[in-house]
Structure 1
Amino acid sequence: MTFKVFIDGRHGTTGLKIDERLALRPEIEILTIPETQRKDPVVKAEYINKADVVFLCLPDAASKESVALLAPDNGHTRFLDASTAHRTHPDWVYGLPELNGGQRERIKNARKVAVPGCHASGFIMLMAPLVAGGIVPPDYPASTYSITGYSGGGKEMIASYEEPASLPEAMKSPRFYALGLTHKHLPEMQVQTGLAYPPLFTPIVGNFAQGMVVAVPLLPRLLSRKITPADVQACFAEHYAGEVFVKVMPLDAAAVLDNGFLPATACNDTNRAEIFVFGHSEQILLAARFDNLGKGASGAAIQCMNLMLGVAETTGLAV
């Protein structure tokens, strides 16, 4: 069986990666608007309404405009939105199959799926099981920081790192950003974990193309009961048991570290996320490592598409 797929915004970073991955799959027919017509809403509506799946790789406002082009009597086209526009919208299913026991089935049956943000994916994979399991209370004052490759910033940021003959000195070191503490991923971080308040979130961009680590510090003295790193690791192991794309690392992670370091790039070009727990009785550090262009973007979108189309979830994705 052949499935028709339209990538609205295929020239952006996420769209290009989705296009690249799907081009290798014989059961997928990619519908491509002629370059001269790609901004014509009438033509775009035609492509959206004849597709089985539409990926929206657009700014928020443009994503909403494209969804509005769906014909009222269209009962077959399904959307996967990679923008921030619908990640907390009640009519859209959040596209993280590993979120809880029923999420995979919800995605499978959905007409509209919101693909998670990259930073949000790591935070939610770490915090959602702990809140659901009663380890972290909903009113916990959560904080998180994340280091990511510059590809997560889109074409403009990629160009700023890759086009200069000599990189400015200030760009050679990791750089904090979004220091107004109002990052666009915060709403989904709060809603999808069940926290009463958004976390304090500080992202960092590094001088490398792709890969990321999202870290969450925990203070056991502020938790609802006495908790050890082993308890947290066991909670993750139970929650993610049987998951193909989420791997819970051993509590003694020395063997999988790089001389005691945790590089951000080890999961690049896969759809794998690795969960780590570090610490002692007074302080615990959680970390999620994955490819910001894989499980953090295009890989997650394709994983959800596979579920929606009823094909093997791992099709076209490296573990």
Structure 2
Amino acid sequence: MSYSLNLLMVLPELVLTLGAIALMLVAAWGGTNATRGISIAAVFVLAGAMVALAGPATTGGPAFGGLYRADAFAGFAKVLIYLATAVAIIMAPRFFARSPGEDLRPEYPILMLLSSVGMGMMVSAGDLLTLYVGLELQSLSAYVLASFMRRDGRSAEAGLKYFVLGALASGILLYGISLVYGFTGSTDFAQIAGAYGRDAAMGTRSLGLMFGLVFVFAGLAFKMSAVPFHMWTPDVYEGAPTPVTAFFASAPKVAAMALAVRVAVEAMGSAAQQWQQIVTFAALASIILGAVAAIGQTNIKRLLAYSSINNVGFALIGLAAGTAQGVAAVLT
């Protein structure tokens, strides 16, 4: 496959990356006076990335030796991610105008764009390395966005809690990835699926592969805020600026769900009997706890946080089915 075709497959991420870098340079020279123009430009960059999805970016298949997947599944998820990100950027000026002592700075839309790049890599991951790089790019931007209101103690607390618990979840996920790599000899989803398939065909259960699967799903459950890895969600949703809370409740959730589906079906589909038990427990626990814990909430953002935990539980039911119809239900 030619290098130019590979670049066409990652064109949405290239548009977002180059746009974010260009706007960063504008912010460095223009300062806060350029904030409004940068926000408008960021929305147009997201629109450009959506236009770039037409063609090889959704039909090209594997790119860069299988590290990246350009397919309709990823394209659909990216449309949702870019729309949610654009809405979060558009919401911000009015919110910060009503917040005394807080100003909307040009870093806000730029961080949103960089987070979108990470989420795009997550949903198109065909390799554990791509998965981790995309997830960390999204997470690092999210930590800063959660604590964006520098004079608000709750926002600083939200960012700190998100960072500490996110670092713990990243460590768990990375440990799971290292176990999977160690026992399969590859980070490519197709080869990992082959290793799990051989394990299932022989009727044996490799303890290393089993633990790797559990740790990987635990790390992904944190990103989805599924029970029992939901503890960060109410505090972060309450403390973060409201447009950022709206962003957290939409775009990263779509990216995390799409990534979990891709890992479960493509990389670990042969071990469905093992991960279905984990997903079923997480789905039922998220539905029950999300509904029950929301009853006593007096803060609307905390209430919505538990609502999002509940919604993730319902979405995971489709993944627990482990079928093509179940995957379609998750996207719906």
Q: TM > 0.5 between the two?
A: no
Relative contact order, higher structure (CA 8 A, sep 6+):
1
Taking structure 2 as the reference length, the TM-score comes to: 0.28
Structure (1 or 2) with the greater helix fraction: 2
Taking structure 1 as the reference length, the TM-score comes to: 0.29
